[in-house]
Amino acid sequence: MLKLPWHMVLKAQGSAGDASGMALHGKVALVTGGAQGIGRAVAETLLKNEAKVSLVDLNQSVGEMCKKDLDQQYGEDNCIFIQCDVTDRGKLQEAFQSTVERFGRLDIVINNAGINNEKNWEKTIEVNLTSVIKGTYLALDHMSKEYGKEGGVIINVSSMAAFLHSPHQPVYTATKHGVIGFSRAMADASEQGQYGVRINTLCPAFVDTQLLRTVEHEETMGKFVKFKDEFKERMDKFGVLKPSLIAEGMMRIITDESLNGAVMKITCSKGIHFHTYEPLSA
Ligand SMILES: NC(=O)C1=CN([C@@H]2O[C@H](COP(=O)(O)OP(=O)(O)OC[C@H]3O[C@@H](n4cnc5c(N)ncnc54)[C@H](O)[C@@H]3O)[C@@H](O)[C@H]2O)C=CC1
Ligand SMILES: CC/C=C\C[C@H](O)/C=C/C=C\C=C\C=C\C(=O)[C@@H](O)C/C=C\CCC(=O)O
């Protein structure tokens, strides 16, 4: 397999770039939480690289606006928007099925939808962890060679909160730890079971999206809102990333076929890099 350095192959989002941008022609991606923020950024980069994209999101109005914008930029037949609550197993299953029926295949799944709500912490677990598990299993239903499919790649979105816990978001932090553990275990299962599906995790630091603004509000932070000043100090200290850099990291995971079980970290201080784990000792 010819392996070009990934930056030679892809058009980064938002830049003219002189890369061929043909890397993903004919590929189909499903992005949960794709209507805004990080999900929209990666959807744009996927479309720029000639993939077809299924935007799966709870927010009907924002999702329809996102699709309208992307249609204008990339043509009307290259993305669809499916209104779906990822915590609704049946609806999520239908979203996957509709995507395959519309585009004929599925190659890339990005379980990105997430919330930050310490008041309704059960919902946070449902969206950030349980639905990532559901989305991973549905992705395997449509991509795994164990079911006669052609293989593919899954990106589950965690956070640097899994490496630098904070008193402001204990349950959010727990869900992001869980995403890493589940994804690494599933990557091993995929390798040993010869599913042909690479499963990787992405851990951004602070990113300039709507989610980051929830830290100000009692209705999302509950009693932990009293720690918001410390949280904002931490944001000042570590900096805030652009969604486009997260999209760049995701494209690297998608195009580097050597990556399975990887935990990519993206921070202002170190950019795109990977967490290394000590080998298990007896
Ligand atoms: N913004 C940040 O600082 C960081 C975000 N992340 C993670 O990145 C992912 C994306 O977050 P952002 O783009 O920042 O947030 P965002 O709030 O801008 O976008 C999240 C999208 O997910 C959708 N969504 C929420 N609940 C849903 C549900 N039940 N079903 C379907 N869609 C749903 C929302 O409608 C929204 O369009 C999340 O998993 C988040 O935890 C990780 C590290 C840092
Ligand atoms: C309301 C906002 C919700 C979520 C935002 C996000 O998911 C939370 C992020 C929490 C922590 C971010 C930490 C950022 C750390 C860095 O930028 C590093 O450069 C330095 C810190 C530690 C490095 C630890 C390591 O790399 O293992």
Ligand with minimal distance to 207 CA: 1
What is the tens place of the pLDDT at every residue in 224-267? 999 999 999 999 999 999 999 999 999 999 999 999 999 999 99
What is the tens place of the pLDDT at every residue in 43-56? 999 999 999 999 99
Q: What is the pLDDT of residue 124?
A: 98
CA distance 203 to 156: 9
Tell me which residue has its CA closest to atom 14 in ligand 2.
205
Q: What is the mean pLDDT of residues 141-167?
A: 96
How many other C-beta atoms can be found within 10 angstroms of the C-beta atom of residue 58? 19
pTM, entire model: 0.94
Question: From ligand 2's centre to the CA of 137, what distance in Å?
Answer: 28
Ligand with minimal distance to 62 CA: 1
The mean pLDDT value of the chain amounts to: 93
Cβ(165)–Cβ(173) under 8 Å? yes
Q: Where are the alpha helices (DSSP H) in the chain?
A: 6-9, 37-48, 60-74, 89-103, 121-125, 131-143, 170-193, 218-221, 228-238, 243-255
* Ligand 2 close to Cβ of residue 117 (< 6 A): no
Residue 11 has pLDDT above 80, yes or no: no
* Ligand 2 close to Cβ of residue 241 (< 6 A): no
The ipTM is 0.96
| 6's tokens | 């990934």
Catalytic annotation, pick one of 137, 147, 172, 277: 172
Which of 64, 70, 115 has most ligand 1 atoms within 8 Å of CB, for mutation? 115
Q: What is the pLDDT of residue 282?
A: 73
What is the tens place of the pLDDT at every residue in 17-43? 334 455 799 999 999 999 999 999 999
Domains and CATH numbers, the chain: 28-270 (3.40.50.720)
What is the tens place of the pLDDT at every residue in 168-227? 999 999 999 999 999 999 999 999 999 999 999 999 999 999 999 998 899 999 999 999
| 76's tokens | 């009307």
